[in-house]
Amino acid sequence: MSPHGSSSPALPLLVLSLLLLSPPGTLAGGDGSPPSRPIVTPISKDGSTSLYTIPVKGGAPLVLDLAGPLVWSPCQPGHRTVPCKSSVCTVANRNHPANCAYTGTGQPGSPDPTCACTAYPYNPASGQCGSGDLTKMPLSANATDGRNPLFPVSFPAYAACAPDGLLASLPAGAAGVAGLSRQPLSLPSQVASRLKVAKQFALCLAGDGQTGAAIFGGGPFELQAAQPMELAEDLRKNALPLLVNPKSGAYYFRLHGIAVNGAQLSVPAGAFDLDRRQGTGGVLFSTVTRFTTLRSDIFSPLINAFEALTRDVPRRKPFPPFDLCFDASGFPSTRVGPGVANIDLMLDGGRNWTLPGASSLVQVGGSTVCFAFQNMGFGATVANSPAVIIGTHQMEDNLVLFDLEKGTFGVSGLLLGRSTHCGNFNFAMGSS
C-alpha cells in the first residue's frame, strides 16, 4: 500500500547540466528550431484494469504512474546502454524499489569502462520489480497550443529496459510504464529538460468510453463547451502547496479534514499528517488506485456519516469490494451525478475540493450504485502506508495540474458542473 521508491528528489547539478545540454527534441516537418511548445497526448482508460495509458512510445501505450520515478519498457537487442560511471546512473539508482533485490552488476560509480548501468523498473499494478539496462528510448507526442495538437514531436528519454514478464497485470498491449513523479528521470522532468518547456503537467482523466488528455510543459488547457473553457491559468493562480516526502517522489498534499454535507468528520488528531522521517501517513494522488482508499480511522467515520444521510435510500446487497450499495433509482439525477450529500476534502487556505455524487458513487450494475471509497484495513502494511490515497475515480473529470518547479498543484473540481468533461479536448490537428 505504500508509494514506491525511497529516495530524495534532489538532482545533482552535474546531472541537471547533462540533461539540459542534451540535444533538444526533433520536430517533425520543421527545421529543428521553432519555439518550444508543450506537448499533448491522449489518455485512454483500459476497461479491464481501469489503468490509464498514453501512446508516447512510437504509438504504443505506457501506463501512467504518478509515483513512478522512471520510464520503462522492454528493449530490443542491440539497444544503447549508459555507462555505470555516468551521473545519470547514480540518479536512476536512487529510486530503488524497496522490495527489489540488487543484481550485483551495473552498479553506479563503477570505473569499468565496459560497465553498463542497471536500473530497477517497478510495476505498480502487480507490485513486482525487475532489472535491466538504463538506456535512451525515443518518445513522441504532439506539440500543442493548449487547444489542439499542432505537429509531431519526438525526443530521446532515459528509460529502464524491463523483462517482458514485468508487463503482467498491465493492460493488454501496454509497452511499459511512464513514471510521472517528482524525480529527475520521470517523464515530466525529462520533457521539461529535453524540450525546454515548463516543468509542469496537467492530467484530465476521462471516464469509461472517453478519451482524456495530458499536457506536459505548461501553457493553456482548453476544453470544448458551449463557450470553449481555458482552465489551467486559474489553477496556477490559485495553486496549493505540495508536501515533500523524502522517501517518495509521489504527490502529497495537506488535508485538514473531510466534511460530509458540510459537517466535518471527527477523526483522531493528526490523522492526515505526513511523517516525513518515516515516509508514512499523509495524503497523495494515485493513478494506479481506482477508488480513494482511507485508513480505517478515517474510513469508518466517513462511511458512517454517508450512511446516516442516505438512510432513506433503498439498499442493495454489498457488491465486493464495496461496503455500501444502493438502489440507483433512490437518488435523483443531477448534472453532477446522483443527487446526494457532497463530500468536501478540506484543503489549505480554507478551500474545498468537493466530491458530488458522480465522484462519491460508482455504478456497478444497471440499477446499483455503491459508495466509491475503500477501507485500507489494518496491520503492519497499513502502518507503513499513506493515510489517504486519492484514486482515479475521484480524479476523473477533474483537471489536475502539477508544477514540479514550484512544488504546487491545482484541481478544477468536477467539470460536469461546468457542462464539460475531460473527454472534450479537441484532438483535431490545428495549425502552428
User: Does the structure show a pLDDT above 70 at 229?
Assistant: yes
For a pLDDT cut of 90, what percent of the chain falls above it? 85
Cα gap 238→243, rounded to integer Å: 16
> Is residue 271 within 8 Å of residue 373, measured between CB atoms?
no
Q: How confident is the model at residue 18 (pLDDT cuts 50, 70, 90)?
A: very low
pLDDT digits (tens, 9 = 90+) for 286-320: 999 999 999 999 999 999 999 999 999 999 999 88
Residue 104: predicted pLDDT: 84
Residue 380: predicted pLDDT: 54
Residue 36: predicted pLDDT: 87
pLDDT digits (tens, 9 = 90+) for 112-137: 999 999 999 999 999 999 999 999 99
Q: Which of 266, 298, 286 has the alpha carbon at shortest distance from 375?
A: 298
What are the backbone angles phi and psi of residue 109, rounded to the nearest 5°? 90, -5
Grid coordinates of 223: 476544453
Q: Is the peptide bond preceding residue 321 cis, with omega within 30 degrees of 0? A: yes
Which CATH number, 2.40.70.10, 3.80.10.10, 1.20.1370.20, 3.40.718.10, labels domain 223-418? 2.40.70.10
Cell 458551449 maps to which residue?
226
Report DSSP state, residue 238: T
Q: Which of 299, 297, 294, 308 has the alpha carbon at shortest distance from 340?
A: 308
User: Does the structure show a pLDDT above 80 at 410?
Assistant: yes
The more confident residue out of 62 and 31 is 62
SS3 213: strand
Cα gap 185→86, rounded to integer Å: 14
Helical residues (DSSP H) of 69-202, grouped into ranges: 87-92, 187-195
Residue 135: predicted pLDDT: 98
CATH no., domain 39-216 = 2.40.70.10
Report DSSP state, residue 266: -
Mean pLDDT of 228-254: 97
Residue 180: predicted pLDDT: 98
Q: Assign residue 260 a region: left if phi > 0, alpha if psi is -120 to 50, beta otherwise?
A: beta
E strand segments, 22-123: 26-27, 39-45, 52-57, 60-65, 71-73, 118-119
Cα gap 278→271, rounded to integer Å: 15
pLDDT digits (tens, 9 = 90+) for 334-387: 999 999 999 999 999 999 999 999 999 999 988 999 999 999 976 656 767 999
Helical residues (DSSP H) of 323-387, grouped into ranges: 357-360, 380-383
Residue 1: predicted pLDDT: 58
Q: How confident is the model at residue 326 (pLDDT cuts 50, 70, 90)?
A: very high
pLDDT digits (tens, 9 = 90+) for 39-73: 999 999 999 999 999 999 999 999 999 999 999 99
Report DSSP state, residue 166: G
Mean pLDDT of 80-91: 96
Domain locations along the chain: 39-216, 223-418
User: Does the structure show a pLDDT above 60 at 11?
Assistant: no
Grid coordinates of 371: 459508495
Calculate the average pLDDT of the chain.
91
Residue 96: predicted pLDDT: 83
- Beta-carbon count within 10 A of 240 CB: 16
Cell 472517453 maps to which residue?
210
